[in-house]
Amino acid sequence: MAERIAIASSDGSNIDLHFAKAASFYIYEIFAGKYEYIEYRKLDAANRHDEIEFERTLKALEDCKAIIVAQIGRGALAFVNSKGIRVFEAPYPIQMVLERFIDKNILNN
């Protein structure tokens, strides 16, 4: 079964954005031991720690099982997790992180 993940990136190559400041997400599907780029989503960044703003971001990513960011604050993490979405901090190149997610079957652990 394919699962979508959102990656907070300013350039499409590196995971380099903080959740609350992320204005761009790259959406990927992970399935059958591989990944595929789906689309780019441009958002208005929350730019502050406000649950209304976090909710707006999550609405734009509602088809994603997980979000990968460079950083996320504790309050935002708790809020996102309470909505049933997993968050991972991984400030590394996207390709490397996706390969590790597949190799370690991280979304299913």
Q: What is the pLDDT of residue 8?
A: 98
Look up residue 46 and give its amino acid. Answer: A
pTM exceeds 0.75 for this model? yes
What tens digit of pLDDT does each residue of 3-60 get? 999 999 999 999 999 999 999 999 999 998 999 999 999 998 877 788 899 999 999 9
| All structural domains of the chain | 3-23+32-108 (3.30.420.130)
Distance CA 43, CA 23 (A): 5
Q: State the virtual CA torsion across 55, 107, 88, 58 in degrees, nearest 10.
A: -10
Q: Name every residue whose Cβ is closer than 8 Å to that of residue 97 and which is 6 or more positions away in sequence.
A: 7, 15, 68, 90
**pLDDT at site 47:** 78
Each residue's pLDDT tens digit, 53-74: 999 999 999 999 999 999 999 9
φ/ψ of 59, rounded to 5, equals -60, -40
Does residue 88 have a pLDDT over 90? yes
- Whose tokens are 């997400």? That residue is 25
